[in-house]
Amino acid sequence: MKTNTTLDPAACFERDGFFIMPDLITAPECDQLKGEARKVLDEHAKPGASVHLHMAHVSKLFRALAEDQRMVNLLRPLMPDGIMFLSDKIVYKAPDKTFPTPWHVDFYYWRDTRPKLSVWIPLDDATAKNGTLTVVPGSHKRDWRMVKMGLPSGDFQYEISDSNWQEGDVVTCAIKRGTAIVFSDRLVHGSTPNTAAKDRYAIIGTYQAPGEDEEFDLNFPARKVIWPTG
């Protein structure tokens, strides 16, 4: 896909609410992380869950990714107050998990805490057919209403109830594995359905500015400042 990298990353992130960095990690790294994700899911995840948290807490490989210098370089222009890794999760769409991730904004899951952004990296090439990320550029600039929903797995609890964008406003991020999408916790996003009858693995790391621990932060044992304030 055409990426929005012609503007400088900070200007792009401010305007659109997201920024795409092609090839943040290599294909062999994606293969290795995918193997590791499978192992962590087998050992730690609730059977059938498509979202599993705390990868960096139990895996040296995911820990290394969370604080990799390439990640720091990507985030520094967007996070001038420093970078703290908070948490990560694997979102695994098995071939039988065809449902799309509902439209949502992440901050709803951590209301009354400081702003955060997330980095979504597919470990498989991601297309409209296998559940890639979808975003609504500029949607981070307004408030949205979210209501409880009932996905059978319980993985996503809320969805936006007052959507007013048009189909043409949506960007379907068809990207190669290893490409990173950094997005604001106020950006409306979701995914396409996975109708490809194939696995789709993605890792999502969440970051915020360093500061005193908030109560919410205490849920995330792998949190760590990776670039100090100032």
Ligand X SMILES: O=C(O)CCC(=O)C(=O)O
Catalog residues that contact ligand X under the rule CB under 6 A.
Answer: 91, 101, 106, 131, 133, 189, 191, 202, 204
DSSP for 65-89, please give it: HHT-HHHHHHHTTT-TT-EEEEEEE
Cα 129 to Cα 95, 195, 204: the distances in Å are 11, 6, 20
Please identify, using beta-carbon distances, which residue of 117 and 204 lies nearer to ligand X: 204
Please identify, using beta-carbon distances, which residue of 20 and 204 lies nearer to ligand X: 204
Please state the closest distance from residue 158 (CB atom) to ligand X, in A.
Answer: 10
Please identify, using beta-carbon distances, which residue of 103 and 227 lies nearer to ligand X: 103
Q: Which two tokens stand for residue 7?
A: 């503007």
Please state the closest distance from residue 95 (CB atom) to ligand X, in A.
Answer: 15
Please state the closest distance from residue 230 (CB atom) to ligand X, in A.
Answer: 30
Please identify, using beta-carbon distances, which residue of 193 and 225 lies nearer to ligand X: 193
Rounded Cα–Cα distance for residues 116 and 109 (Å): 11
Rounded Cα–Cα distance for residues 216 and 19 (Å): 26
Please state the closest distance from residue 101 (CB atom) to ligand X, in A.
Answer: 4
Using CA of residue 52, residue 53, residue 54, residue 56, what is the dihedral sign? positive
Burial of 188 (0-12, 13-18, 19+ CB in 10 A): buried
Rounded Cα–Cα distance for residues 186 and 116 (Å): 9
Please identify, using beta-carbon distances, which residue of 97 and 223 lies nearer to ligand X: 97
Please state the closest distance from residue 212 (CB atom) to ligand X, in A.
Answer: 25
Rounded Cα–Cα distance for residues 102 and 120 (Å): 16
